[in-house]
Amino acid sequence: MSIEIIGCMIVRLVPLAPEHLWREGRQVRYTPGRLMNRAQVERISKALADATRLRIFEAISRSGHMNCGEIVSMRGVTPATVSHHLKILSEARLIACCREGQFVYSQAVPETIEAYTRALTKISSGKKTPRRRFLSQVIKSASAAVCSQFLPSALRASLFPQSASPKTPPNNSARPQLALTLDDPTLSLGSVLKWQDANGRFLKAISDKGVRAALFVCGMRVDDADGAKLLSAWDQAGHLICNHSYSHKFYGGQTNYADFAADFLKNEKVIAPYRNRTALFRYPFLKEGETADKRDRFRALLKERSYRVGHVTIDASDWCVSQRYVDRLGKQLKVPIAAYRDYLIAHLLDRAAFYRQLALDVLGRDIRHTLLMHFNPLNAFALLDVMNAFEAAGWQWIDASLAFEDPTFRSEPQTLPAGESLVWALAKETGRFEDRLRYPGEDDVYERPKMDALGL
């Protein structure tokens, strides 16, 4: 079996996390710097309990990153079992798989081991924390048998007093998954809606679905006391607070690296106060630089600051549908919002189907998707309907933190101009999907004629 074939096989077999994993992730979110929950401690312990798997993890850690052919060539590792071992290591977040050209590489995730070590230190110190009872509830629903092999006997007794045989929740999530990412929260929504009302509507809709979103903050729109109130509401609801630059500059043409970098760093101060601040950066307009030098220098800066790119996989032009709605409100008193809402929903579902299929064709598997929407009036009114429509179309909403764990988000497409949806860029990089790729990937020029025809 050639390396390429094995590599492709792994891409397909790298699994979506079973439902119970993301459910637990939603209850106790693990982020670097915070204490890892016990379910995750157990998962990692289980993953490393197998001698072959431990050797694979050791080899990947030592080499920096390995492709699947190199792993198969290790003594005692067969092609038939390597997928299984990588799956378990990946689910435990000990490794991430990323594609470089036609090869798939596995690399260690050092943050996981660091957090695991901190958690074990905490456990062995024997100090009780307020979360202990809750965490023990979580762990009781996981696999006691496996956990019991690794925990100190005293802790084991406290967590599993009756040596019961807990049931593992079923994995019935064969549905495509997506997370909501919302860009550009703002205090200025014109006369249509007060920001407080919009904020309340967004948060209520997301809360109704029981998930957590990622909010990409552009500092200049929220840089005062009211802005802090707006962001605090998201932070307190457990949503990720992420960096979208301070001034929303287009990283191309006039904007050089130094200006763009300074603008990114300036925004760090705006989001710094929040508990759920997360080191994810989203490029304004999804433009990542028109030259290799600009693209690579900023990517290097992100790594230096321990950031990852908050990629969009499902891009759309929701902003222009809302703009048309607002423009019409400026011209006439009563505007049929249902028609705009329905167009928005149809448009988003259409784009989601397009990018899902493209991802399947490029990567050979369903990735966890991130949908881009904006903090605007139409979305504030329609978000719950949008989320319901996605569910009716077979999609499953998940936490943004879980979506961004998909190894695909660690890819660095070598395209120029760089940017667009991550799926678009990965497809572009292969050179095999030119007939399906337009540039830009999404824009109002594609939607305007259709909306004109509908009288919207």
Distance CA 263, CA 256 (A): 11
Across 356-438, where does the E strand assignment appear? 369-374, 396-397
Shorter beta-carbon distance to Zn ion: residue 183 or 318: 183
Number of residues that bind Zn ion (CB under 5 A): 3
Shorter beta-carbon distance to Zn ion: residue 25 or 310: 310
Nearest distance, CB of residue 342 and Zn ion, angstroms: 25
Alpha helices in 28-78 (DSSP H): 38-47, 51-63, 68-72
β-strand pairing of 65-67 with 103-108: antiparallel
Shorter beta-carbon distance to Zn ion: residue 25 or 284: 284
In a 3-state reduction of DSSP, which class is residue 103?
strand
Binding mask 131-170 for Zn ion (x = CB under 5 A): ----------------------------------------
Shorter beta-carbon distance to Zn ion: residue 90 or 267: 267
Q: Which residue is nearest to Zn ion (CB)?
A: 183
| Nearest of 93, 105, 168, 143 to residue 402 by alpha carbon | 93
Can you tell me which residue has the tokens 């119970």?
Answer: 20
Nearest distance, CB of residue 50 and Zn ion, angstroms: 45
Shorter beta-carbon distance to Zn ion: residue 24 or 183: 183
Angle between helix 38-47 and 110-125 (nearest 10) = 120
Q: Are 202 and 230 in contact (CB under 8 A)?
A: no
Nearest distance, CB of residue 196 and Zn ion, angstroms: 21
Nearest distance, CB of residue 214 and Zn ion, angstroms: 13
Distance CA 318, CA 432 (A): 28
Shorter beta-carbon distance to Zn ion: residue 66 or 182: 182
| Nearest of 375, 320, 322 to residue 195 by alpha carbon | 375
Burial of 216 per CB tally in 10 Å (0-12, 13-18, 19+): buried
- Considering Cα of 312, then 316, then 322, then 323, what sign does the dihedral take? positive
Shorter beta-carbon distance to Zn ion: residue 66 or 230: 230
Residues numbered 385-414 forming contacts with Zn ion, rule: CB under 5 A: none
Q: Are 387 and 209 in contact (CB under 8 A)?
A: yes
- Token duo for residue 113: 């081991």
Name the helix (H) or strand (E) containing 145: helix 144-148
Nearest distance, CB of residue 392 and Zn ion, angstroms: 28
Shorter beta-carbon distance to Zn ion: residue 105 or 246: 246
Nearest distance, CB of residue 218 and Zn ion, angstroms: 6
Going from the C-alpha of 39 to that of each of 147, 151, 280, the distances in angstroms are: 9, 12, 25
Residues numbered 270-299 forming contacts with Zn ion, rule: CB under 5 A: 284
| Nearest of 375, 77, 409 to residue 201 by alpha carbon | 375
Residues numbered 173-202 forming contacts with Zn ion, rule: CB under 5 A: 183-184
Nearest distance, CB of residue 38 and Zn ion, angstroms: 38
β-strand pairing of 240-243 with 65-67: unpaired
Going from the C-alpha of 304 to that of each of 32, 297, 307, the distances in angstroms are: 16, 11, 8
Shorter beta-carbon distance to Zn ion: residue 47 or 215: 215
Distance CA 409, CA 426 (A): 11
Distance CA 255, CA 323 (A): 26
Going from the C-alpha of 62 to that of each of 53, 55, 92, the distances in angstroms are: 14, 10, 18
Nearest distance, CB of residue 239 and Zn ion, angstroms: 17
Distance CA 321, CA 325 (A): 6
Residue 442 interacts with Zn ion (CB under 5 A): yes or no: no
- Token duo for residue 171: 């994995």
Nearest distance, CB of residue 168 and Zn ion, angstroms: 41
Nearest distance, CB of residue 313 and Zn ion, angstroms: 16
Nearest distance, CB of residue 46 and Zn ion, angstroms: 41
Shorter beta-carbon distance to Zn ion: residue 103 or 246: 246
Distance CA 94, CA 397 (A): 24
Shorter beta-carbon distance to Zn ion: residue 82 or 372: 372
Nearest distance, CB of residue 283 and Zn ion, angstroms: 9
Shorter beta-carbon distance to Zn ion: residue 184 or 405: 184
Residues that bind Zn ion (CB under 5 A): 183-184, 284
